[in-house]
Amino acid sequence: MIGNGTKWVVTLLAIMVLLTSNSLAYCAVCAALKADPWPNSAQSFLSDNSTVQTPSDQVTIQQAVASKSNPKRVDPQRSSSFQQVLAPISSFVPISASSTNLNPFGYDVILDVSPEATEYIQGAISIPYAEFMNNGSLKPVSEVAKILGDAGISERDSVLVYGQCLPCGVNSAYVYWILKYLGHDNVKILDGGIDDWVAAKLPTETVPKILPKVTYTPKLNPGLFATYDYVKNGKVQIVDSRSFQEFGLGYIPKALNIPYDQVMDNGQLKGEADLRDLFSSLDSTLPVVVYSDTGAQAGSVWFALEALGYNASLYSWQDWTANQPRLNVVLEDIHADPNPATQGSPVKITALFGEAKKIANTGSTATGNATNKTILTIKGCSTCGFGSPQGFANINKSSGVAQLGNSGQMTAPSQAGSFTCSAMVKDSSGSNVGQVSMKQIAGDEYSGIWNANVGPGSYKATIVVSASGITKTFDNALDIKIVGTEKDTSKYKKVGN
């Protein structure tokens, strides 16, 4: 009996060791594959284990790591329309040094728009993408033209743009759009990045080239920049290129959500067949407006549509929200309990809302309760709103104030039947790690539970409220600290100590 029992135990242990070895080997392969920067940076916002493998496992893992460090590039099939906007790396061969062209690859200017590049295509100049932006918005045309001219670019130059795939989108696609908006005719995007260039054994430099300053004269193409009125009229197809989570918190009516990372595959624009399938819900004969929070996000989707021959333009979510009736509600208090919290424990997030300061009004005074009033203000004129505001609110035409409900009384969040509240928890990199639906617990107080199944660190909660289709966001309203669990070592204490 003892002998049989011993054999059974040995067999069981052998099986466990085998399973553990295979499991760890799988994790190592996953870690190697997850080193790819684009798929993991966009929305997963998301790391490597030392393992013991069998010889066959080690070969598999080494092959996986090698394939990531020296990937075999397979370019998607590109039609003629794609070749008009993309320059394949396989087409580049340095031209003779005796050429009068300033750049050895046939373009007047090669432009690197990466934010922190350490290696450049030979002859490339550098204008980091952010140079064109001011507080998240495109700088005035005159300033953008000066930036380009000071860098040595004229509107007559042939320009090749390349950059990095970032968590916020493809910055080279947005810079391509900027140049097209300025009326620049001869511009393409490199079909790949600096890593692909290096893998093709093409020459690079550690510092960018400096060109003499010139004058850049723009000839605006206004059709590429959509206006609020153009979007509002409902005669265009609208694409929201933000993440699904952001889209779920509020969007332009009738918008189709196509997240920006869906047009990319391993840092490259997807092939034509895949993109046509992705955009199959759009009518190619009708104009399309693409919007997002950032130009790089919307620019990525816009560029894909451009390559397919769509008549597309860009718009911004910020401009849309700025032109909407707004919730005149403030976040009076917010806290988490417990805070700090232990890793893996439930955290109760509680928010208290109240009325913002009364809007100055020289013509009349809005009626209603003196406290806890939720009102909407219609920007622009008091008789025109978003959609048909009379359907959900009473409008004081002289003050521009829309009152929730079907009476002249102002209503509190707790009285507005459609008032909703949620919290989005993000880590230090800005990645979403949790979303909490908050319920009313008393008056204008809302609460919800976040299960902190995350690593130790600092997290921020953004509160999003909505009433009658109008949304307001309180960014980074709460800091939550998560600490690791401490092992209980009391059972190891010696008796008598």
Say how far apart CA 294 and CA 276 lie, in whole Å. Answer: 24
The confidence score (pLDDT) of residue 432 equals: 86
Mean pLDDT within 60-68 = 38
pTM: 0.59
92 in the same domain as 43: no
Last residue of a domain, one of 22, 49, 69: 69
Say how far apart CA 299 and CA 405 lie, in whole Å. Answer: 39
Q: Is residue 75 part of a domain?
A: no
> In a 10 Å sphere around its CB, with 0-12 CB exposed, 13-18 middle and 19+ buried, how is residue 485 labelled?
exposed
Last residue of a domain, one of 27, 43, 69: 69
pLDDT band at 6 (very low <50, low <70, confident <90, very high): low
Strand order in the sheet with 237-240: 256-257, 237-240, 288-292, 312-316
Q: Is residue 268 part of a domain?
A: no
The answer to whether 49 and 27 have CB atoms below 8 angstroms apart is yes
Q: Over the stretch 415-443, which tens digit does the pLDDT of each residue have?
A: 445 789 999 999 988 788 999 999 999 98
109 in the same domain as 35: no
Is the pLDDT score of 54 beyond 50? no
- Sign for the CA dihedral angle at 171, 177, 178, 184 comes to positive
Give the chain's domain count: 4
The confidence score (pLDDT) of residue 165 equals: 64
Q: Which residue has the higher pLDDT, 35 or 337?
A: 337
CA-CA distances (angstroms) from residue 144 to 129, 156, 159, 365, 391? 11, 16, 16, 45, 43
Q: Is residue 274 part of a domain?
A: no
86 in the same domain as 59: no
Domain extent at residue 299: 227-261+284-322
Q: Which of 361, 436, 428 is nearest to 401 (CA)?
A: 361
Is the pLDDT score of 15 beyond 90? no
167 in the same domain as 49: no
Mean pLDDT within 32-53 = 32
The answer to whether 297 and 238 have CB atoms below 8 angstroms apart is no
Is the pLDDT score of 382 beyond 50? no
454 in the same domain as 363: yes
Mean pLDDT within 106-123 = 93
Q: Is residue 269 part of a domain?
A: no
The confidence score (pLDDT) of residue 102 equals: 53
Q: Which of 82, 17, 43, 481 is nearest to 310 (CA)?
A: 82
- Give the length of the chain: 497
Lowest mean pLDDT among 15-29, 67-81, 98-112, 246-260: 15-29
Last residue of a domain, one of 69, 97, 114: 69
358 in the same domain as 247: no
Is the pLDDT score of 260 beyond 60? yes
Q: Residue 101, Cβ neighbours under 10 Å: how many?
A: 13
165 in the same domain as 110: yes
31 in the same domain as 95: no
Lowest mean pLDDT among 165-169, 254-258, 454-458: 165-169
CATH of the domain at 249: 3.40.250.10
Q: Which residue has the higher pLDDT, 9 or 183?
A: 183
Can you read off the two tokens belonging to residue 340? 């700090």
Q: Is residue 145 part of a domain?
A: yes
199 in the same domain as 187: yes
97 in the same domain as 50: no
Q: Is residue 101 part of a domain?
A: yes
pLDDT band at 4 (very low <50, low <70, confident <90, very high): low
159 in the same domain as 97: yes
Q: Over the stretch 304-313, which tens digit does the pLDDT of each residue have?
A: 999 999 999 9
Can you read off the two tokens belonging to residue 422? 């949620």
Q: Is residue 266 part of a domain?
A: no
Residue 90 backbone phi and psi in degrees, to 5? -65, -15
Q: Is residue 187 part of a domain?
A: yes
Mean pLDDT within 19-26 = 39
153 in the same domain as 250: no
